Amino acid sequence: MDDIVAVFAWIVFPGLFLEQDKGRRGLDLAIADLEESLSLKADNVDVQCMLASCYEKSGQKEKAVAAYQKSLDLNPDFSEAKKGL
């Protein structure tokens, strides 16, 4: 993830990074924020990959695989998505 996207995510979703450490509730909040972000800009490969990671951490393996695959559909060379699969 490039620095600009990370800064943008921190500004737009400040709770995302803080809440991830609070277990399942934090992951649920992060997933909701990321899904909302994708509803506004569906072609954001970084957000798609972050969502996949959150799905994976929350035990939602099928959704994680689908989200990683969507990341690769958007950018076939995206190394983070390749690692996730």
- Taking alpha carbons only, the member of 73, 81, 84, 85 closest to residue 46 is 81
**How far, in Å, CA of 27 to CA of 18, rounded?**
10
Tens digits of residue pLDDT in 25-83? 778 888 999 999 999 999 999 999 999 999 998 999 999 999 999 999 999 999 989 99
The CATH number of residue 66's host domain is: 1.25.40.10
Averaged pLDDT for residues 3-32: 60
- Residue ranges making up the domain that contains 52: 3-84
Cβ-defined contacts of 36-41 (< 8 Å, 24+): 37/12, 37/13
User: What is the reported pLDDT for 26?
Assistant: 77
User: What is the reported pLDDT for 47?
Assistant: 92
Number of independent structural domains in the chain: 1
Residue scoring higher pLDDT (6 or 26): 26
